[in-house]
Amino acid sequence: MWQLSSKTNLGRNIMKSTIGTVSKSICMLLLTSVVLISCNEIDATESNYRAAEGADNAVAHRVSNLSPATGDPAFTLEPGDPDLEWLPCPEFMPDDCRLAVIQGNPAERNADVYFKLQPGTTADHHWHTSDERMVLVSGKMRVDYDGQDPVFLERGTYAYGPGGLAHVAHCLEESEDPCILFIAFEDPVDALSTEEKPAPGSDKEAFILTAEEVMFGDCPSFMPAGCGLGVLQGNPEEHDADVLLRLAPESKIPKHWHTSAERMVLISGQMRVNYQGQPPVILEPFTYAYGPAKLPHDAICVGPDEECLLFIAFEEPVDAIDIRGGNLPHGR
């Protein structure tokens, strides 16, 4: 078994600001086509891989820039960021396979990682304890899940892999670039070879979706005309759902907040997100962004010609609260 261990998030581009404190009070909206609710209040084996030397210094740096609103900063990150620390993959994977922690503690829930394979290489038969919620940000991949037809991923394809379901991942030889896969984990990050431990299997199926296959419903009424929201995976009334947000060029979402943290990848277009008390965050295609829970922000699809498609992995039930009517997180 393999597990990453880390004391800190390795994401960079952290916004330097402080904001007021927040309580755990919650107010949810009702979406028309994406079902949300309206309410008030709301043994792991020894690790073989540990964070690179200097993690304690990274912790000190990060803590100094935390937003008191949630205990987390907003930040963006790209696979080519020079500060990103690429660690070796498990021994059963190719020698040049690499993994990087983007956000969170991989020994705990809700960590995000980049997984990188070189063209023509294969991650042999393995499985994970956690479900994997994924977007391919570079290259071309084929994944063979036990008992299913192969799935083929192009850049921008969303993929869902159930925990316990064994699979083999190939970065195709015709891929011009390394295959880099964004993965949002729900449970602690691990990868287990089936030669060492048989996979338990799953009653759920793996699948992929492209933006063209997503069925979009209406956004909340306070959002701009042409805004669409599509559920990729999960029940938005419950934990750990994934959605795709669509914005028309030059359209703006007014200031709002979410009960949940948002773990995001921009699929197309260009966006500017203004988190309260922090410098603007600029998202180019395939930029990763982390948005803390309950931190008010607005967003604009910069345009002028290309719509914005934003993948969002939620941890809590999906909501969006318009603050223009005074619906601020408690204590603001």
Q: Are 219 and 227 in contact (CB under 8 A)?
A: yes
> Is residue 331 one of the residues assigned to a domain?
no
> Is residue 124 one of the residues assigned to a domain?
yes
For residues 205 and 219, state if they share a domain: no
> Is residue 328 one of the residues assigned to a domain?
no
pTM of whole model > 0.85? Answer: no
For residues 180 and 246, state if they share a domain: no
Residue after which a domain boundary falls, among 155, 187, 209: 209
Q: Quickly state the pLDDT bin for 94 (edges 50, 70, 90).
A: very high
CA distance readout (Å), 306 to 136, 157, 251, 281, 284: 20, 18, 11, 19, 12
pLDDT of residue 72: 74
For residues 174 and 303, state if they share a domain: no
> Is residue 130 one of the residues assigned to a domain?
yes
pLDDT of residue 40: 31
Q: How confident is the model over 185-230, as pLDDT tens digits?
A: 999 999 999 999 999 999 999 999 999 999 999 999 999 999 999 9
Please count the other Cβ atoms lying within 10 Å of the Cβ belonging to residue 42. Answer: 12
For residues 106 and 122, state if they share a domain: yes
For residues 13 and 125, state if they share a domain: yes
For residues 45 and 192, state if they share a domain: yes
| 304 preceded by a cis bond (ω within 30 of 0) | yes
pLDDT at 276 over 50: yes
Residue after which a domain boundary falls, among 209, 231, 259: 209
**108 residue type, one letter:** E
DSSP code of 212?
A: G
For residues 139 and 200, state if they share a domain: yes
Q: What percent of the chain has pLDDT over 90?
A: 74
Q: Please give the backbone phi and psi of residue 59, each rounded to the nearest 5 degrees, phi first.
A: -60, -45
CA distance readout (Å), 213 to 26, 135, 150, 307: 32, 15, 18, 16
Token pair listed for 284: 């180019």
For residues 83 and 139, state if they share a domain: yes
Contacts of 266 (CB under 8 A, 6+ apart): 283, 284, 285, 286, 287, 289, 308, 309, 310, 311
> Is residue 327 one of the residues assigned to a domain?
no
Q: Please give the backbone phi and psi of residue 238, each rounded to the nearest 5 degrees, phi first.
A: -120, -175
pLDDT at 82 over 80: yes
Q: How confident is the model over 10-59, as pLDDT tens digits?
A: 333 333 222 222 222 222 332 333 333 233 322 333 333 223 333 333 22
Higher pLDDT, 3 or 305: 305
For residues 269 and 310, state if they share a domain: yes
For residues 92 and 233, state if they share a domain: no
Contacts of 107 (CB under 8 A, 6+ apart): 3, 4, 5, 6, 44, 47, 188, 189
Total of domains in the chain: 2
Q: What is the CATH number of the domain that holds 34?
A: 2.60.120.10
Give the Cα separation of 38 and 206 in Å (integer): 31
pLDDT of residue 332: 40
Domain hosting residue 313, numbered range? 214-322
> Is residue 9 one of the residues assigned to a domain?
yes
Token pair listed for 240: 């750990």
Give the Cα separation of 319 and 316 in Å (integer): 9
Residue after which a domain boundary falls, among 209, 229, 254: 209
